[in-house]
Structure 1
Amino acid sequence: MLLFIALANSHYFVAGERAFGGFPVGGSVLDRGIGTLISTFVDGRAFPMFGVLFGYGVAQIVRRQRESGRAWWPIRKLLWRRSLVLVVLGFVHAMLLYVGDILGAYGVLLFLGVWAINWKGVWLFVVAGLAFVLTAMPSDDSFSTMTAGPDPAVLSHNLAEQFSARIVAHPFIAMLGWIGFVTPFLIGLWAGRRRILERPAEHRTLLRTTAIVGLTVAVLGALPVSLVVGGIIDRPSDHALTYLGPLHDASGVLGGFGYAALIVLIAHRLSNRQGPFTLAIAAVGQRSLTCYLSQSVVWALVFTPYLLDLSGTLTTTTTALLAIATWLATVAMADRMRKANYRGPFEKLIRWFTYRTAATRSRSSGSLA
């Protein structure tokens, strides 16, 4: 899915007029074809899966802490520390590398989502449903707006312009971006309590149904916009796009559930046939934060005007090829870390800040007692 994240981000760096959620307007037949594929299967479909896994991971942390005998208040503080490190790391990431950072939004979501951890399952579904309805409501958004890209906050001509633009843009993304992850996060919490992704053999019917229904709805919901991106059908009116854009986003949330279920089923089937490539892919997942941030290093190097400045040179097709090459490089990097038994620098940072701080405070309290 980090490959999908790379593909979803790559087209935002192409210079020129854009619409339909940030896709470049025009281009060659091949460019429009690649845009159609990304809009149908990737854009708005990969990030919700990470929202599911984020909620699932929080449920795992809570379960392990409770099994170790830790009380609820220390668990809450531990999660807030994790939230804080995500917010800070997201801020640094946005300022230096990529303003489209999602770590800050995840940090805000976790800070607020802590209050949902003890909710009954029915309330998780009710609030998730309300958030999903909000996502699907008609709105005037980027699908119906023509803009010239990339935005100065994405690609700035010098560091002063970069920091001044991003210091305004990033807090806006972090404080509001979490809203789109509420539904997958809460469903991930529910699934994590039941260990659905860890025990696929016990939940095969649910996973198969989710994969089929979720991905079918995601593809069908994307087609009205993705066919316009590909130039296959004419651009609808702005009024129509205020409905079709949210349909694209809302169906993508279900697609995130579908991808999560599909990958679990594939992983379960391959569990007894692990070869070098599957081990390398698993190593990426175990170091997903480091690999995600590594993608941003490439974007900054290749596209920033005061570095390589290839925004006006590369197209939708060539940026997609760059995204694939970048992902393959992170696979090789993660596999080398696996062979060296190295967790990954940013995974170690978050773990140290979350758990070492908790252990230090616990020892301090004990000595004072």
Structure 2
Amino acid sequence: MTADAPTRSPGPTTPAARALAPDLARGFMLLFIALANSHYFLTGPSVMGGYPQNGSGLDAAVTWLISTFVDGRAFPMFGLLFGYGVAQIVRRHEASKPRAVRRLLWRRSAALVVVGLLDALLFYVGDILAAYGVLLFLGAWAVRWRDRWLVLTALAFFVLTSLPSDGSLVISLAGPDAAMLPPDAGTMVAERALVALFVATLGPLGFMCPFMVGLWVGRRRILEHPERHRMLLGVTASIGISAAVLGAQPVSLMLAGVVTPPNQPTLELLGSLHDTTGTLGGFGYAALLALIAARLHGRRRPVIDAIAAVGQRSMSCYLMQSVIWAVAFTPFLLDLSGTLGVAGTALLATGTWIVTVVLADRMRHAGHRGPFETLVRRVTYGPRALARTSDPAGDARRSTGP
């Protein structure tokens, strides 16, 4: 090839070339996403942190489990994995000009924003895809930054989001509003439009720290080669998860009804502690799942591959959850928000995730990508690049190595 010959975009990664650890982490964490989202639909005479305070002993136990291990812990991990994926895209296009890479990322950003806003309007107003799209639009300028600036930016946003405030969801006394539980279709669209724009605009502030860390980790391919970084991953998993569990206890015990809520200034401090340690927990979960992926190298693993198939189709499976929430909780549909308790919504969330695992695994065996993954890749790379990198049988025979 001559020096002035045009180069073709390498396109998206084929299924056979994907690493296990990031897909396994995405797939497993979608269970946590379902558990974290579903209880916010519940109503009752007294609600705190999205949990009705008049439930049974079983509800209290499930509340403690979810608020300790799930709430505020899954989304930071997804932010890290999102940044990691962006770093992979940039690495595959390292021979391209920075402007060309930014345009490619901006096309991906536009697809996420459009799909996310539609999901927020029609199904689940708390959708975060649009926020990720806005984050990518801004983060496209950071993909070429030096490591030092990535780390400093991550640290700055970590400190910013750790400041005490009354905005933490885990200490909110508000129940679901008309945007979450609209009485009719007209109210649904009207109420959700502003909320969706608000989440898309301010959401990136909360995801910026994990995103920057994900870019840094992705440059070093730590999740793709976990066997080379066992010490780092082990320390991160131990410290991150321990901090998340211990830091959640003041709020978790309060939500479970074990201790009495303190005054407002103290409550804001405890909410900040819960959220801040949750970010560390998200990093710890990602590290732990990477270590599990390294340990499973070369073994027969039908269940693990099925969960990884969800991770490969995380956007489609996430949107499937939104449809379930809409059908189950919308007042003019099944209207279960006043019927189910915390344990009931946890069971619904787990069942929904299991259904996505089964469907994703069937698509894996059939050699099909998720429909929304195909859409985003088509918008990002164009139909020609997508055709060049398609591997219908590769998903079923995906490499077991990282």
TM-score category, normalised to shorter length: over 0.9
Secondary structure of the 2:180 match is coil
Corresponding residue number in structure 2 for 1:207: 233
Q: Do 1:196 and 1:203's aligned partners in 2 also have CA atoms closer than 8 Å?
A: yes
| Deviation of 1:359 (Å) | 6.3
C-alpha distance 358-342 of structure 1, shift in aligned 2 (>3 A): closer
Q: 1:216 aligns with which of 235, 242, 256?
A: 242
Q: 1:48 aligns with which of 76, 83, 91?
A: 76
Corresponding residue number in structure 2 for 1:245: 271
Q: Do 2:313 and 2:360's aligned partners in 1 also have CA atoms closer than 8 Å?
A: yes
Q: 2:67 aligns with which of 39, 49, 73?
A: 39
Whole-angstrom CA distance in 2 between matches of 1:278 and 1:35? 27
Give the counterpart letter for 1:191 in structure 2. Answer: V
Corresponding residue number in structure 2 for 1:366: none
C-alpha distance 74-275 of structure 1, shift in aligned 2 (>3 A): same
Give the counterpart letter for 1:28 in structure 2. Answer: S
Gaps of 5+ in 1: 361-369
Corresponding residue number in structure 2 for 1:225: 251
Q: 1:146 aligns with which of 169, 173, 186?
A: 173
Whole-angstrom CA distance in 1 between matches of 2:170 and 2:302? 41
Corresponding residue number in structure 2 for 1:24: 52
Whole-angstrom CA distance in 1 between matches of 2:170 and 2:230? 37
Q: Do 2:132 and 2:204's aligned partners in 1 also have CA atoms closer than 8 Å?
A: yes
C-alpha distance 293-264 of structure 1, shift in aligned 2 (>3 A): same
**CA offsets, 1:10-38, max 9 Å, x none?**
11111124554322222111101100100
Alignment of 1:173-188 (within 5 A): 173-188=199-214
Corresponding residue number in structure 1 for 2:6: none
Corresponding residue number in structure 2 for 1:161: 187
C-alpha distance 359-283 of structure 1, shift in aligned 2 (>3 A): closer
Normalization by structure 1: what TM-score? 0.94
Whole-angstrom CA distance in 1 between matches of 2:132 and 2:45? 30
Number of residue pairs the alignment of both structures matches: 357
C-alpha distance 174-138 of structure 1, shift in aligned 2 (>3 A): same
Q: Do 2:41 and 2:50's aligned partners in 1 also have CA atoms closer than 8 Å?
A: no
Whole-angstrom CA distance in 1 between matches of 2:287 and 2:172? 34
Q: Do 1:20 and 1:225's aligned partners in 2 also have CA atoms closer than 8 Å?
A: no
Give the counterpart letter for 1:34 in structure 2. Answer: V
Larger deviation: 271-280 or 299-308? 271-280
Q: Which runs of 4+ in 1 moved over 6 A?
A: 357-360
Whole-angstrom CA distance in 1 between matches of 2:90 and 2:262? 47
Corresponding residue number in structure 1 for 2:329: 303
Secondary structure of the 2:209 match is helix
Alignment of 1:257-268 (within 5 A): 257-268=283-294
Alignment of 1:285-364 (within 5 A): 285-356=311-382
Corresponding residue number in structure 2 for 1:122: 148
Whole-angstrom CA distance in 2 between matches of 1:40 and 1:133? 21
Whole-angstrom CA distance in 1 between matches of 2:299 and 2:172? 48
Secondary structure of the 1:139 match is coil
C-alpha distance 358-18 of structure 1, shift in aligned 2 (>3 A): farther
Corresponding residue number in structure 2 for 1:7: 35
Normalization by structure 2: what TM-score? 0.87
Alignment of 1:45-124 (within 5 A): 45-66=73-94, 69-124=95-150
Secondary structure of the 1:140 match is coil
| Deviation of 1:121 (Å) | 0.8
Q: Do 2:128 and 2:200's aligned partners in 1 also have CA atoms closer than 8 Å?
A: yes
